[in-house]
Chain A
Amino acid sequence: MPHAGPWLGYVALASAAIAAAILLHFLLRKPALDLRAKLMLLLGLGVFPAICAATSTVAGMEQTTHREFCGSCHTMDDHFGNATDPNAQSLAARHTRNPFFGEESCYVCHADYGMFGYALTKLGGMKHVYYYYLGGYREMSKEETKRSVHIAKPYDNLNCRQCHTTTARVWRSLPDHLAMEDQLAHNRVSCASPGCHGYAHPFSKGPDALGAAAHGSAAPAASGAP
Chain B
Amino acid sequence: MSFLEGLRAGAIRRIQRLSVLRLIRFSCWVALVGLAVMCASILYPAPLLIIFAMSVGQVIGVVAVLCYVLSVVGDIVRGADHPPDEPGPARKFRAAGSDDSASDST
Contacts and interface: CB of A to CB of B under 8 A. Distances in A.
Interface of B: 20-21, 24-25, 27-29, 31-32, 34-35, 38-39, 41-43, 45-48, 50-51, 53-54, 57-58, 61, 64-65, 68, 72, 84-85
Contacts of A57: 54, 58
Interface size class of A (residues with CB under 8 A): 35 or more
A9 interface: yes
List the 9 shortest-distance A-B pairs measured between CB atoms, nearest first: A63-B45, A56-B38, A23-B28, A16-B35, A60-B50, A33-B84, A45-B68, A9-B42, A16-B39
The interface centre, meaning the residue of B31, B53, B68 with most chain A CB atoms within 10 A of its CB, is: B31
B38 A12 contact: yes
B42 A33 contact: no
B38 A16 contact: yes
Given A45-B68, A56-B39, A56-B54, 16 more contacts: A26-B25, A26-B28, A27-B28, A33-B20, A45-B64, A53-B58, A56-B42, A56-B57, A59-B42, A60-B42, A63-B45, A64-B45, A66-B45, A69-B47, A73-B47, A129-B48
A87 interface: no
Given A27-B28, A73-B47, A129-B51, A13 B42 contact: yes
A133 interface: yes
A16 B35 CA distance: 6
A44 interface: yes
Contacts of B48: 129, 133
B28 A13 contact: no
Interface string A32-70: 010000100110111001001100110111011010010
A33 B31 contact: no
Contacts of B29: 27
Contacts, number: 92
B34 A49 contact: yes
Contacts of A38: 72
A23 B32 contact: yes
**Which of the listed residues A26, A46, A66, A73 has the most CB atoms from chain B within 10 Å of its own CB?**
A46
Given A53-B58, A60-B54, A64-B50, A12 B42 contact: yes
Nearest to A60: B50
A72 B49 CA distance: 12
A19 B39 contact: no
A49 to B, nearest CB: 5
20 contacts: A9-B42, A12-B39, A13-B42, A38-B72, A41-B28, A41-B68, A44-B28, A45-B31, A45-B65, A49-B34, A49-B35, A52-B38, A52-B39, A53-B61, A56-B57, A60-B50, A64-B47, A64-B50, A73-B47, A129-B47
Contacts of B47: 64, 69, 72-73, 129, 132
Nearest to B83: A33
A79 to B, nearest CB: 15
Contacts of A46: 65, 68
Nearest to A133: B48
A49 B68 CA distance: 13
